[in-house]
A and B are shown apart, each in its own frame.
Chain A
Amino acid sequence: MTPYVVSALTTASILPAVVMLLSNFKSQPSTFRWLAVLLSFSFLCDVAAFLLYHSGMNQNAAGAFYWLFSTIMISGFFLRLVPQSFRRSFLVMNVLYLLFALTNIFLIQGARIQSYTQSIQAVIIIILCIGYYYVLIKELPTEQIHRLPTFWITSAFFFSYAGKLVIYAVVNYLTQYLKDNLVIIMNLHNLLTIIANTVFAYAAWLNRKQQRFILSSRSAS
């Protein structure tokens, strides 16, 4: 499979979750609205990268744009899942991240792959995931954790960004010193994204099913 096809598959893998989340966007809790916005944004940035690539322009611009704002959306997803006292920390973290991402674009890595920003983003997401896991263990909100959509979403973030952190940490070294064409590494990255998107789709389906059940039991009573 060519890298082009793998990338196209990766972009397509976002669609099931996006469709399910957008179909009942208004009735969703804010957590899922943020996820819908994030995945839609991710899809649009991927499409933009394709277009830039085909126009002979630097496709990294779309990526830089995605990494600039995606952390805010992911923080938005986690905002309601962790205690209220962490809100200020979320704000500070996002402001600092945004400042660093802008500095990286204009002063450090420029038009190259934003590996520093990506690494920091991965660390932030892993910390947020661990924070949510801690909340789950402390509060035990459900008897069967596998029926909790947010658990699946967090696990998808945790799994994929832990793998991606390794990739982001070495991508600069690979491109600058080993002059590698990054095909294998990018395929690995895409595989992680496809896995995460599949889990997002499952979580969106689970959430939709549970919402329908709640609505039908309410109307029955």
Chain B
Amino acid sequence: MAQSEATEIYLIIAVGIVTMMVMAGAIIIFVVFYQKRMLREQMKRQVLEAQYQQKMLQAELESQEAERRRLAADLHDSIGGMLSTIRVGISTMARMLPNPQTVDQTKQMLDDTISSVRRISRDLMPSTLEKFGLLHALTELCERFEATSKINIAFHHGEVHPSLDKPRELMIFRVVQELLNNAIKHSEAKQIDVRMNASESELKITVEDDGVGFNPDDFKADAKSGKGLGLYNIENRARLLGADLTYNTTRIKGSETIITLPLSHEQKP
């Protein structure tokens, strides 16, 4: 009888200890579950933050493009139009003068101003891009830069061309424009080559020069002073395009920037 009572007591103690162990295990499982959930939530938050940043960036670039479009239209239609009218007026007045050659210099200055306004307007919003697409716009861009900078700028392209939507074409155009601007301003190059090649899966654009080269990290570190702002804009646009941007830092001379844009089914050439 006494032995069975002792067994019963020990059994109760065993049940108590097992319960404690189960509870301790439950607390450990809770901690593990908590940490897993926390990690999941953090990842979710990071994705949301990245999406938010991307949307903000897109909105910023869109508003920038809208502003450029408005400014280009104002310059071309308003100021350009007025300058043309003034030129007609001066020509008419010149015919009434005894010596019409006296206003030739003024007319020449006015012609230069009209050309400048047209060029600025075209730089702000390339009408070629809207009318004829990326290939023609890049060809025109290279020709224009070559004419104004006196640097040989060659544009090479393959035979196949992907069909991209206008906002994406505009973003690629801006990236190439910024890269050419940088090369002309800082590289001291004699030759710049722009290459555009498309395959089944991607569009590859390369801007290469034979100048002094640059270290992108130095420029990025200097972004606060505004020096690396161009590269920052290029990288932002590339990110929005979902493109891979590579600076070839292994070159001994000059620089090479490669933009690789993956193509979706509908964009394939």
Contacts and interface: CB of A to CB of B under 8 A. Distances in A.
Interface stretch (A18-26, A110-118, A162-170): A162-170
A178 B5 contact: yes
Decide if the interface of chain A is mainly helix, strand, loop or mixed. Answer: helix
Interface string B89-111: 00000000000000000000000
Interface string A139-168: 010010110000000010011001101110
A180 B33 CA distance: 42
Interface residues of A, number: 23
A145 B15 contact: no
Interface string A30-59: 000000000000000000000000000000
Nearest to B26: A158
Given A136-B34, A137-B33, A159-B27, A167 B16 contact: yes
B41 interface: yes
B27 A166 contact: no
A162 B23 contact: yes
A167 B23 CA distance: 15
Contacts of A178: 5, 8-9
Q: Is the interface of B mostly helix, strand, loop or mixed?
A: helix
Contacts, number: 57
B6 to A, nearest CB: 9
A167 B19 CA distance: 11
Interface residues on B, range: 20 to 34
B13 A188 contact: yes
A185 B30 CA distance: 28
Contact of A192 (B20, B27, B35, B42): B20
A100 interface: no
A127 interface: no
B20 A162 contact: yes
B24 interface: yes
Given A158-B23, A163-B23, A178-B8, A146 B13 contact: no
A96 interface: no
Given A166-B12, A184-B9, A188-B13, A146 B20 contact: no
A198 B35 CA distance: 24
A165 B23 CA distance: 12
A174 interface: yes
Nearest to A136: B34
Contacts of A158: 23, 26-27
A188 B41 CA distance: 41
7 closest A-B pairs by CB: A162-B23, A166-B16, A163-B20, A170-B12, A178-B5, A166-B19, A155-B27
24 contacts: A133-B30, A136-B34, A137-B30, A137-B34, A140-B34, A140-B37, A140-B41, A143-B38, A155-B27, A159-B20, A159-B24, A159-B27, A162-B20, A162-B22, A162-B23, A163-B16, A163-B23, A166-B16, A167-B16, A170-B12, A178-B5, A184-B9, A185-B9, A188-B16
